[in-house]
């Protein structure tokens, strides 16, 4: 059984991104820059934003942090996004989600200029992805494809089952797997699927993005399947300094005993999500 090391793949890709950033600076005098907007002080969001800024610094991408009070109005936030759209020194705009309840996430995402939408969340980028036009691919799904390839699997002709149909993971990863250049046959499962195991038992690849620990167990897998565990769940654990530990959506022990390869949590999909954000920011700066 192979542990698919997202940290190692992320490290390799980040080295490639760092040389791309250095070349762009040397050849065109352009430093890729990412604006990161954080509204309020949600601890998980603060830690995600800090991680993204640190990763930017490590590859030579400039980040501009815009921290706003929880009480910021939708109009104020939209004005900031619009001014960043018009700022030639900024190549990528990231709005950390979730936003406070009084702000429409849809309105804010829609306001980001598609050419600066390095998360790949705007309807324009999603539409371009669906019809196979050049676009920013959403970071987590793009990272998942890279992880499956890194595991040594030729995706073409394989049966992939995706558990989850969210707009940020399930739907786009299913769309990417089914693209002609990837060429998998894809089944998407969700809470309306009566017998998920009936599908996963025939799957060569299972991507589980449900946000529920234990959604995938070893007895649901075909021997030799590749498992990509996207879930990040906090489980109370008094033995840990923070009082919790992170687990994925797959029951690691039982899945690892049947799968040929599996991503760990943490250290699998997570490092790839940030890496693909850096990738998109470099692409945005290249123009
Ligand atoms: P989400 O918006 O809550 O969507 C979860 C999806 O899973 C929904 O489509 C839901 O079905 C389905 N689902 C839930 N329980 C299920 C079950 N028992 N059986 C079958 N389907 C089930 O979550 P998300 O944003 O896609 O995120 C999923 C997980 O990935 C979360 O743990 C999140 O923290 C993690 N995540 C990690 C990264 C990373 O970089 N590592 C990035 C993004 C997300 P319905 O549509 O029927 O409700």
Residue 128 neighbours by CB under 8 Å, 6+ apart: 114, 134, 135
Tell the residue nearest (CA) to atom 30 of ligand 1: 231
Domains of the chain (ranges; CATH) run: 28-113 (3.40.50.10860), 139-271 (3.40.50.720)
Q: Which residues line ligand 1 (CB under 6 A)?
A: 140, 163-166, 168-170, 189-192, 196, 209-212, 215, 230-233, 269-270, 273
The token pair that represents 251 in the structure block? 């029951």
Exposure letters 226-258 (e unless 16+ CB within 10 A, then b): bbbbbbbbeeeeeeeeeeeebbbbbbbebbbeb
Report the alpha-carbon distance of residue 181 to residue 139 in Å, rounded. 18
For the stretch 193-219, pLDDT in tens is 999 999 999 999 999 999 999 999 999
Atom of ligand 1 nearest to the CA of 269: 41
What pLDDT is recorded for position 137? 98
pLDDT in tens, 235-259: 999 999 999 999 999 999 999 999 9
CB burial of residue 279 (10 Å; 0-12, 13-18, 19+) = buried
Q: Counting atoms of ligand 1 from 1, which one is nearest the CA of 230?
A: 30
Tally helices (H) and strands (E) across the chain: 10, 11
Active-site pick, 52, 116, 146, 171: 52
Which tokens sit at 158? 């394989």
What is the Cα–Cα distance from 152 to 158, expressed in whole angstroms? Answer: 13
The answer to whether the pTM exceeds 0.95 is yes
**Angle, nearest 10°, between helix axes 269-286 and 139-150?**
110
Residues of the chain with pLDDT under 50: none
Which pLDDT does position 81 carry in this prediction?
98
| pLDDT of res. 2 | 97
């Amino acid at each position: 059984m192979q542990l698919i090391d997202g940290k190692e793949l992320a490290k390799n890709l980040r080295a490639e991104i760092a040389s791309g950033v250095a070349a762009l600076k040397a050849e065109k005098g352009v430093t890729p820059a990412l604006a990161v907007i954080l509204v309020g002080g949600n601890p998980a969001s603060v830690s995600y934003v800090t991680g993204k800024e640190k990763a930017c610094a490590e590859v030579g991408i400039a980040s501009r942090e815009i921290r706003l009070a929880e009480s910021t109005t939708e109009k104020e936030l939209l004005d900031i996004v619009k001014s960043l759209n018009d700022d030639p020194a900024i190549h990528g705009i990231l709005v950390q989600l979730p936003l406070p309840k009084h702000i429409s996430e849809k309105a804010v995402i829609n306001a980001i200029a598609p050419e600066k939408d390095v998360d790949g969340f705007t309807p324009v980028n999603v539409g371009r992805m669906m019809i196979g036009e050049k676009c920013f691919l959403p970071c987590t799904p793009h990272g998942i494809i890279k992880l499956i390839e890194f595991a040594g699997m030729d995706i073409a002709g394989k049966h992939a089952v995706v558990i989850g149909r969210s707009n940020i993971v399930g739907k786009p990863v299913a769309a990417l797997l089914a693209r002609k250049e990837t060429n998998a046959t894809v089944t998407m499962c969700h809470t309306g699927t009566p017998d998920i195991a009936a599908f996963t038992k025939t799957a060569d690849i299972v991507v589980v993005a449900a946000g529920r620990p234990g959604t995938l167990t070893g007895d649901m897998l075909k021997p030799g399947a590749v498992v990509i565990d996207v879930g990040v769940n906090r489980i109370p654990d008094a033995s840990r300094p923070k009082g919790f530990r992170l687990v994925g959506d797959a029951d690691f022990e039982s899945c690892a005993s049947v799968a040929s390869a599996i991503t760990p949590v943490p250290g699998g999909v997570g490092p790839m999500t940030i890496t693909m954000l850096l990738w998109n920011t470099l692409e945005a700066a290249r123009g």
